[in-house]
Structure 1
Amino acid sequence: MSQSKSCLVISYGPVPTPQYQKIEGGGMRCWGLALGLQQNGYDVTVAINQSFPLDISSQDDIALINWQEDEEFADLINTFDAVIINYSMGGPMSYIVDHISDHVMLVLDCYVPIYIEVSARNAKDMPTEYRNYSVDLTHWNKALMRGDYFLCANEPQKHMYTGALGALGILNPYSYKTNRVLVVPFGVEESLTINNPHNPYTELGIKKNDFTLLWFGGLYPWFNIKPLLATIKRLSKEFDNFKFVIVGGKNPYNQNPDFQRQYDETYKFIKSNHLLDKSVFFVDWVDYNDRINWYQHANIVISINSPGEENTYSWRTRVMDFVWGEIPMITNGGDPLSDSLISANAAIKLANTSEETLYNELQALIVDKKRTKKLKNAVANQKKLYYWSNVVRPISIAISSDYKPYLAEKKFKLDNRLQPTAPQTPPSRIKKLSRAPRRIVGIIRRKGVKRSAAVAYSTIANRMKRAKSTVKGKRYFFFSHPIDYTGAPLVLLDVIKDFTEKVPAKNISLIYPGGEKPLINRIRKLGISLDKAVLGIGGRLIRAQLGIKKDDFVLLNTVAIYSNYRDCILWMLETDQLNEATWFIHEDKPELRFGEDKGLINRIENLIKSGKLKIFVPSHQTAEEYNDYFSTDKIKVITLRVEVPEIYESEHKTSDFNTIRFMLSGTSTDGRKGQLLAISALAKLQAEYISKDPSQYRDFSLTLLAVGKDDYISSQVRSIGKGLLGNKVAFYETKPKDEAMEFTSKCNATICSSLNETFGLFVAEGMLMGHILIRNKASGYHEQIVDGKNGYLVNTNNINEFTKILEKIVNKNQSNADLKKMSDSSFEMAQKFKKANYYDQLIN
């Protein structure tokens, strides 16, 4: 293998460095893969999300960098021979798929059977869990469709993923002979270095001669913990020298309520039975380098699982770490790794997890401590099988081969003029159906023709209804992505409302794929027509569905509308079946939205040049970006209308600034709103300024709106925020606008640390409530801030600069009167947003 082969391993969370010592399994996995590949002669770089800033550029000859979803990162990933990333990372994974070149090998790490793991959580709020799962499913499947190779942890997983790839058409007659699902389990480092050898149990009051049973890791919902707790209660009464220690029971990186519930119930049981800090001890997550001391000084560690699919397909990260630490284990097994240890006499097998079985086995171990010592040698022998340098060899062979299955199949299909592998309904069937009498269509539908036939039926029925309707004159069509509580759909609701005041509501149609019921109900009350957008149907069916005429008004709202509807409208413009259309784009950075689709870009450029396609964006900076991208000067700014309830729209009193109540609003699922940057800067403010001279500074708080609970990034935002700021930070999930406004009204300063914006609607709403602004130069700043007048411009990526600006605001050297003057300026500047009328701007 050539020494020049380069590999990028992408992690969201930190990997173990001197700076970061509390590491979850994903970070450990990424670092292990990097070590193994580096030991096999590869040039390896590990990329960590910029939410975890690095203070070193390399470790153990492995380069370390930070990443974020921007053009620089999109370019960077295409400079490597291979990229490895966890396929279940959600939005960031989709970003990689959208921007990676076909010539770069994409290796998807699938060692967590995420489809099954999420399903096994037994969530209390099942509708929310199901909804989140459905959204995540699109990301996971999208990732698998692009992957070259897929890493799994064991043979059962290989069978599972082979089935999944077959269902998605990735496993097919062309690809069958290529082994793309590679068994690469979680490995271990060869070194067992103890940097700071000590017995941490003595600090808990546990004596050397006590029998210590260890639980190490999160108390996750799939662990059947209740029989064990009952056993612990019995053993604690019977043996004074019995101690049970739970280390890291609450995962600081996962705030999922179902995960938290198991921990809380365990803690409550222990406390109510008066065992806390007597025979049972809870310890927070420990530093990565210190975990070996917990392993070395315990008698045995326990791992109990709930039987089921999750157990069968899992590869227990914690069990692998126990092997590394050479600690004996007692387990009921059922997962492949534990079963292999039991077979090698390197672990004690529990026949089941009943209270009686647990009691009998643990009682025997307490009485005969020598039994656990015999297991240690067997564990050490098993450990050699899982050294990272050995584990990664299947990846090494794949990268060395330079064979890229995704690219090869793409060329094969192109060379042979083959259609995509997804099943297509024969055009002749739809054609015949579109001409069939309604009675025959009904018969065909009842007999179960594929869904495309049902869609055709629906569109024809709509067209017939419209032909008989009383709608006269010009019609107005608005196309949207899902109607939710994010900025673009809410703006569209205001646009439609303005149009209903100028044209008959019955002449207006909204075409959308679904959305939040309260918002849909609001739209219905306007009296307009609603049509469902259907992904995948062709232009002819779309035209039949909608019946758009040449002189009708058409508005596409955001780049994210369904591509088949977008392409249909562009085709109608190109063929003179539609005079003109308007595209209201709410996204910034066009290079990220349109990528390398040269065909689409050329179509848009030609339509802009001809005057058939008008594009509007919400800010001057965004207009400059799009004009430059499409080589034109015709893209214009539309002034957004911003309104808040009258009870909240007011100037502040001088006394309102005795405390600074910062707020930042925006979903946290992809990290783009920069919540962690704001948290870091405020934590630095507290540690380096306020704590040294509290009397010199105002108190402060931070309100973060629209931060979820269940997704990976939101969980980290919540955990890090609470860890650094404690009760000074409050988190709220996505709320309807009226509720969100109430939270915003209780604050007096708005932070915009977004990595991407097109305007920053929440900033303008804050201005109408008299908020001081702390804002970066993400698009919209021209319209919203004059540095030093209504707030401060700041480079929020520079934490030191960010902190100094915050210090200037909370420092009492700046009077309340000065802050009120800034607040008043914000309020005055925001008045222009209230007057904007969308009908006048779009039509006139």
Structure 2
Amino acid sequence: MTEGDRAGVLLITPEPVGQRMAGPAIRTLELGRALARDGRSGPVTVVSLAGVDRSDPSVSLTAATDAAGLRQRVRTAAVVVIQGDVLGLHPWLADEPLPIVVDAYDPFHLEQLEQARPLGETGRRAVVRDCVRSLNAQLSRADLVLCASGRQRSLWLGHLAALGRVNPLTYDLAPDLSRLVAVVPFGIPEVPAPPRDRGVLRRTFPAISDEDVVLIWGGGVYEWFDPVVLVRAVARVLPDQPDVRLVFLGTRHPVAGVRTATDAARDAARETGTLDRAVFFHDGWVPYDERGHWLAAADVGVSTHKDHVETEFSFRTRLLDYLWCGLPVISTGGDDLAEHIAGHGAGTTVAADDQEGLADALLRAVGDQAWRARAGDAAATLGHSYAWDRVAVPLADFCADPARSPDLLLDPVDRLQLGLDRPAGSFSVLSRLRAGWREGGAELIARRLRARVRRPR
């Protein structure tokens, strides 16, 4: 097949695409839909390496559980968009002669600083090191890197500079390096949020009434979050505001084997006497197409986290769903999106581990209906700026006229002159297996293979 025979965009995610999805699969599907609506890049196909259990009228959805099937699809596409550890699972992609977009909206190496603690120090070091190797391979090969915010853009520009990718060729192509790194935030649906229906919550939690003020935690609970401080703050305000209720929606990840950290939150609710009285845990994971009904039935969206470097470069995608549903937001500060929301009057932020400050924010939110209305209107207005078709424009522009990054087309001698001394495809499966064997033997290799397809985002 010649280069002129290639057409369309292929988006590849390592996670399953089905009724229940976490961030990576959601983002892949929604970016694919946005590209299809844009129409300039030709047919759009979304491929899952873990299986597909849904259909879609605007994009082709398919599973590719073996390399042969994936190779066939890659070799008919004009541009490929990858995320997670797709390149680590299929290193031959680095040698394919077509533009590859690396979606790096999730700095998963920073997440693993907390997520890998249960593995012990040796295992933790190995997992974080493996994540960095994966990112090195991807950024060494990327013709375009996507990130979720300006702060993330700075992170990835530093990483790319260390790999030699910030060089005269990429600079002369665009001195602001916009042809190397583009900001494409997570988005919200183009359709309006569902109408408010408290019955959605009451059917699962009969103790919740129409008069209650419901705080909702809309996503998974992972090690870098801090649900305990939220539970304790709810217990603290309950005597003054007996109508406050807190609901956690994401207690079991849709990808089998991915841990959630809800036990500590349950223990805190049990200890404070609020479990199943003021604090409730939904058993499982709400289907993606139904999440709007659950969120719209609540009054305030909440998210609390610890003071980690992960926070500094995170982009809390659950907050966007709160905006979509017109919910005022109460969140720990420190990340781009939470500060942006607070700056637009759509919510408020508190310091990490500040139980008293969080309780004060909850008291105001629960007791001041006028504040909830103002902040909710501001949230809905701000949400429009994050519509998928709007945030996806830089990707749509690239896919409409895809091109290789000029520094990746150099011969080996010229690559060395630029400081690109490591070929983009040199992180082979064999080399990574050898390194894993030296670090931890067969057990570590097996754990890494499981983690690559189950790593939460």
Same fold by TM-score, threshold 0.5 exceeded? yes
Provide the secondary structure at the position in 2 that maps to 1:243: strand
User: Structure 1 stretch 147-156 or stretch 390-399: which is displaced more?
Assistant: 390-399
Gap change, CA 1:5 and 1:286, over 3 Å in 2: same
> Match for residue 298 of structure 2?
298
Alpha-carbon deviation of 1:352? 5.4
Alpha-carbon deviation of 1:48? 1.6
> Match for residue 159 of structure 2?
164
Distance 2:19 2:12 in 1: 18
Q: Determine whether 1:713 maps to 2:450.
A: no
> Match for residue 217 of structure 2?
215
Alpha-carbon deviation of 1:79? 0.9
Alpha-carbon deviation of 1:172? 1.6
Provide the secondary structure at the position in 2 that maps to 1:188: coil
> Match for residue 111 of structure 1?
105
Q: Determine whether 1:150 maps to 2:145.
A: yes
Q: Determine whether 1:134 maps to 2:121.
A: no
> Match for residue 14 of structure 2?
12
Distance 1:387 1:381 in 2: 11
Paired residue type of 2:303: S
Distance 2:142 2:242 in 1: 55
Distance 2:373 2:289 in 1: 24
Alignment of 1:64-79 (within 5 A): 64-79=61-76
**Is the contact between residue 46 and residue 59 of structure 2 (CA under 8 Å) also seen in structure 1?**
yes
> Match for residue 590 of structure 1?
none
Q: Tell me the number of residue pairs that the alignment of Structure 1 and Structure 2 aligns.
A: 434
Provide the secondary structure at the position in 1 that maps to 2:168: coil
Gap change, CA 1:668 and 1:252, over 3 Å in 2: farther
Alignment of 1:666-705 (within 5 A): none
Deviations 1:464-519 (A, max 9, x none): xxxxxxxxxxxxxxxxx7899xxxxxxxxxxxxxxxxxxxxxxxxxxx87846998
**Is the contact between residue 10 and residue 80 of structure 2 (CA under 8 Å) also seen in structure 1?**
yes
Gap change, CA 1:74 and 1:195, over 3 Å in 2: farther
Alignment of 1:460-539 (within 5 A): 515=437
Paired residue type of 2:70: F
Pairwise CA RMSD: 3.2
Distance 1:164 1:270 in 2: 41
Alpha-carbon deviation of 1:414? 6.1
Alpha-carbon deviation of 1:217? 1.4
**Is the contact between residue 228 and residue 264 of structure 2 (CA under 8 Å) also seen in structure 1?**
no
Paired residue type of 1:711: A
Provide the secondary structure at the position in 1 that maps to 2:169: coil
Alpha-carbon deviation of 1:159? 1.0
Alpha-carbon deviation of 1:297? 1.6
Gap change, CA 1:517 and 1:411, over 3 Å in 2: closer
Match of 1:62 among 59, 62, 65: 59
Alignment of 1:619-638 (within 5 A): none
Alignment of 1:613-624 (within 5 A): none
Q: Determine whether 1:374 maps to 2:368.
A: no
Alignment of 1:70-89 (within 5 A): 70-86=67-83, 88-89=84-85
Alpha-carbon deviation of 1:190? 1.2
Gap change, CA 1:252 and 1:268, over 3 Å in 2: farther
Deviations 1:658-696 (A, max 9, x none): xxxxxxxx9898xxxxxxxxxxxxxxxxxxxxxxxxxxx
> Match for residue 567 of structure 1?
none
**Is the contact between residue 216 and residue 302 of structure 2 (CA under 8 Å) also seen in structure 1?**
yes
**Is the contact between residue 329 and residue 348 of structure 2 (CA under 8 Å) also seen in structure 1?**
yes
Alignment of 1:785-800 (within 5 A): none
Alpha-carbon deviation of 1:369? 2.2
Paired residue type of 1:119: L
> Match for residue 571 of structure 1?
none
Provide the secondary structure at the position in 2 that maps to 1:175: helix
Distance 1:410 1:349 in 2: 43
Alpha-carbon deviation of 1:402? 3.1
Distance 2:415 2:156 in 1: 28
Distance 1:95 1:518 in 2: 19
Match of 1:94 among 88, 95, 119: 88
**Is the contact between residue 255 and residue 709 of structure 1 (CA under 8 Å) also seen in structure 2?**
no
Alpha-carbon deviation of 1:85? 0.8
Paired residue type of 2:108: I
TM-score by length of 1: 0.48
Gap change, CA 1:314 and 1:410, over 3 Å in 2: closer
> Match for residue 272 of structure 2?
273
Alpha-carbon deviation of 1:102? 4.4
Alpha-carbon deviation of 1:110? 0.3
Distance 1:482 1:340 in 2: 43
Distance 1:133 1:371 in 2: 43
Gap change, CA 1:172 and 1:120, over 3 Å in 2: farther
> Match for residue 307 of structure 1?
307
**Is the contact between residue 254 and residue 712 of structure 1 (CA under 8 Å) also seen in structure 2?**
no
Distance 1:186 1:294 in 2: 20
Match of 2:253 among 232, 251, 254: 251
> Match for residue 240 of structure 1?
242
Alpha-carbon deviation of 1:72? 3.0
Gap change, CA 1:130 and 1:364, over 3 Å in 2: same
Deviations 1:560-597 (A, max 9, x none): xxxxxxxxxxxxxxxxxxxxxxxxxxxxxxxxxxxxxx
**Is the contact between residue 37 and residue 396 of structure 1 (CA under 8 Å) also seen in structure 2?**
yes
Alignment of 1:386-405 (within 5 A): 386-405=386-405
Alignment of 1:716-731 (within 5 A): none
Distance 2:318 2:415 in 1: 49
Which structure 1 segments of 5+ residues have no match? 425-480, 485-511, 520-665, 670-705, 717-844
Gap change, CA 1:165 and 1:274, over 3 Å in 2: same
Gap change, CA 1:185 and 1:231, over 3 Å in 2: same
**Is the contact between residue 77 and residue 100 of structure 1 (CA under 8 Å) also seen in structure 2?**
no
Greater RCO, 1 or 2 (C-alpha within 8 Å, sep 6+): 2
**Is the contact between residue 74 and residue 96 of structure 1 (CA under 8 Å) also seen in structure 2?**
no
Gap change, CA 1:242 and 1:67, over 3 Å in 2: same
**Is the contact between residue 14 and residue 27 of structure 1 (CA under 8 Å) also seen in structure 2?**
yes
Paired residue type of 2:339: D
Alpha-carbon deviation of 1:413? 3.5
Paired residue type of 2:233: T
Alpha-carbon deviation of 1:195? 9.7
Distance 2:292 2:234 in 1: 24
**Is the contact between residue 32 and residue 45 of structure 2 (CA under 8 Å) also seen in structure 1?**
yes
Paired residue type of 1:190: E
* Structure exhibiting the larger radius of gyration computed from Cα positions: 1
Provide the secondary structure at the position in 1 that maps to 2:232: helix
**Is the contact between residue 187 and residue 320 of structure 1 (CA under 8 Å) also seen in structure 2?**
yes
> Match for residue 28 of structure 1?
26
User: Structure 1 stretch 408-417 or stretch 346-355: which is displaced more?
Assistant: 408-417
Alpha-carbon deviation of 1:318? 0.9
Paired residue type of 1:713: V
Deviations 1:410-461 (A, max 9, x none): 444369696673469xxxxxxxxxxxxxxxxxxxxxxxxxxxxxxxxxxxxx
Gap change, CA 1:186 and 1:136, over 3 Å in 2: same
Provide the secondary structure at the position in 1 that maps to 2:128: helix
> Match for residue 354 of structure 2?
354
